[in-house]
Structure 1
Amino acid sequence: MNPIKYQFSESFAAEMDAKDSLSHFRSRFYFPKVKGKEAIYFCGNSLGIQPKSVKDYLEKELNNWADLAVDGHFHGEDAWYHVRKKSKPALAAILGAQEHEVVAMNNLSVNLHLLMVSFYQPTKERKKIIVEAGAFPSDQYMLETQIKFHGLDPADVLVELSPRSGEFTLRTEDIIAEIQKQGDSLALVNMAGLQYYTGQLFDMKAITQAAHSVGALAGFDLAHAAGNAVLKLHDWDVDFATWCSYKYLNSGPGNVSGIYVHERFAERPDLPRFAGWWGHDEGERFKMEKGFVPMYGADGWQLANSNVLALAAHQASLDIFEEAGMENLRLKSEKLTGYLEFLIGEISGESGVLEIITPNNPAERGCQLSLLIHHGGKEVFDEWYNQGVVGDWRNPNVIRLAPTPLYNSYLDVFRFAKILEQSLKKFA
């Protein structure tokens, strides 16, 4: 494929939108407003915007609740007893998994803890955990407390990987070298799939292979990767993963998470886990007997019955993803993020105001670009917001922008570039 010859012009952006086979999806979302005008929304990495169909999906379940009450569990279309199954095809496609390897449940931090119960079983010889330095607080707190739960000291157990001096992101060869260095002492690699601060997409296949080569397991927090990058968890042999649905998956603030567990663990009742009624053998569940028998696959990690209203909002977005296709979204993402990168370079030049710290190789990033602000600090962010740009500020001096292919346009990127152009005159 020939590289696109980007241009800093409104007509070029309009032409790219006209050629975009996914452009019609934009009209199926509500856009927030800033000062009464539709925002340039580049914050899908924090909270995706609302699909217009959510209201209909929720209303359907509200009507079922009103008309059927408790009978809704077993009667009517999409009986609630099996409601978790409806999301499995879309989740499997998004995660690159088998349907029995995924299930929507709980929230991300809860799922991280539940998965660690099963997949972090330290011994005297094998207890180390590798994580990227500066991991999201949910991961940091989870790892710290899980390690302490086993009577260990995080300072002795956690191996935090930092970029080389003068660099912002980790090199894959350095990650693999550390895995090999830890060798028989390594129990687990538990990293983000895509680093929230820098926007770096890790080579999960290579990391997993390296972990397995020394007898360790590999699990990933995919909060910023699910719905953003093309994932092949099953083929990459990843052991376990979890994600959230409110970022790129556009399922509503704080909405349901999900887990992936490789099928090699599908029938492992011997694995330690914190069990719940809804993870028990579905055919025997209502016998209400002692003795937990986990369901086959990821479903065996469920605790409680499904949140029907949450899953309805989730399904509204998942149906759009199935229609659009992750491969198609990824192709557009690379072009759209490339256009943003091009325009930032064209405008900022040698001004010294900002620096992109996200990898410039499209294979090593999603749609997010993280901008290190050297002059102006949060004033730059506030200036952009006042002009209608919704991005994300991260202390001490990074602005994250995520042109999301499902609903953002090339004209969005161009309009941001004009705002950037004006702001540089103020802060350069």
Structure 2
Amino acid sequence: MKVLIAIDSFKGSISSAEGSKAISLGIKDVYPDAEIVAVPVADGGEGTVEALVQATNGQFITKEVTGPLKEKVKAVYGILGEGETAVIEVAAACGLPLVPSDQRNPFITTTYGVGELISDAIEKGCHKFVIGLGGSSTNDAGVGMLQALGFRFLDKNGQEVGLGGQVLQDICKIDVTHVNPVLKDCTFEIACDVQNPLYGPTGAAYVFAPQKGATAEMVRELDEGLKHFAQVVLNELDVDIHNIVGGGAAGGLGAAFAGFLHAHLRSGIQVVLDIIQMEEKIKGVDFVITGEGLLDGQTSMGKAPIGVAQLAYKHRIPVIALAGGITNETSPLHASGITSCFSIVNKPMSLEEAMDYHVTFDNLRFTSYQLFRLIRAIR
């Protein structure tokens, strides 16, 4: 018996690595000699750094950077085991949880710290970057990040503008003479699962800024700022950052990475699966176990379990998905390669109890044990 475990974290409850350990113990309670291959996975959002560092025997780096409100924060990123690739979640430097709810204001929040993380990784010898977009508190089109990398954005008086989404309408000129020269030798792969353009009704401001603290009037002004900035970039650099698919991700960071740093925007789970060479690991296994905290209609839209399941389906390997909760919207899950899915909650309990680490660990082990007892009985 050979089983591949490839689960995402159960957010707020248990990490991918610890969840995999619990499942492995449950399987070995039935098949003591089973060969278990545990590979942490993520979809480009929270947990991507942890999953990729663990999968490649890399290292975590802690760096003090400028936070979204210009305060200092300690951000963690990863360097993969080969020592050349840095993995950064932008939320580590400018995430919404870093801003108290009563201070959320995309007029002033900045992505400057993201650029500082990139610079630090370059100093440590990294020339390849995997960037997870998502969870940002910003709407500055990535200008803050670019400023930290040496780009200068000037107003009509030739003065460098400040930080935050409010400065976009003031930008008239772009000075690239002080840009970090090493950037031209760097490659950026962006884990991005949204397709929104930079501005307009489906752009960064109208779709995402309200959850970051923007009022209706602020949304209109931010959108105008994004539109103005895109026109300046077109005039100055002859680059169209508005029509980039996914350019509106993370308050316009998608556009900044693609337009200024020549990055490739790809499905988050596909980026992760390629890096950890999942297709090689999946060959020859009898079962694949995947899962996340909640399996619902959103799972089929590029989440980690679906990426794993589609790969397993390609090799005709049955897939069992485990989750804390499962909605009735399972048809898209089955159509995407998940053979069957099971909730690990085995009795009535509060959400707080269900998300307790020890309860989740025990429930994952118990459910896996029961499933593989059934498998043993029918094999």
TM-score normalised by L of structure 2: 0.27
TM-score normalised by L of structure 1: 0.25
Answer 1 or 2: which has greater strand percent. Answer: 2
Tell me which of the two structures has the higher relative contact order, counting C-alpha pairs closer than 8 angstroms and 6 or more residues apart.
1
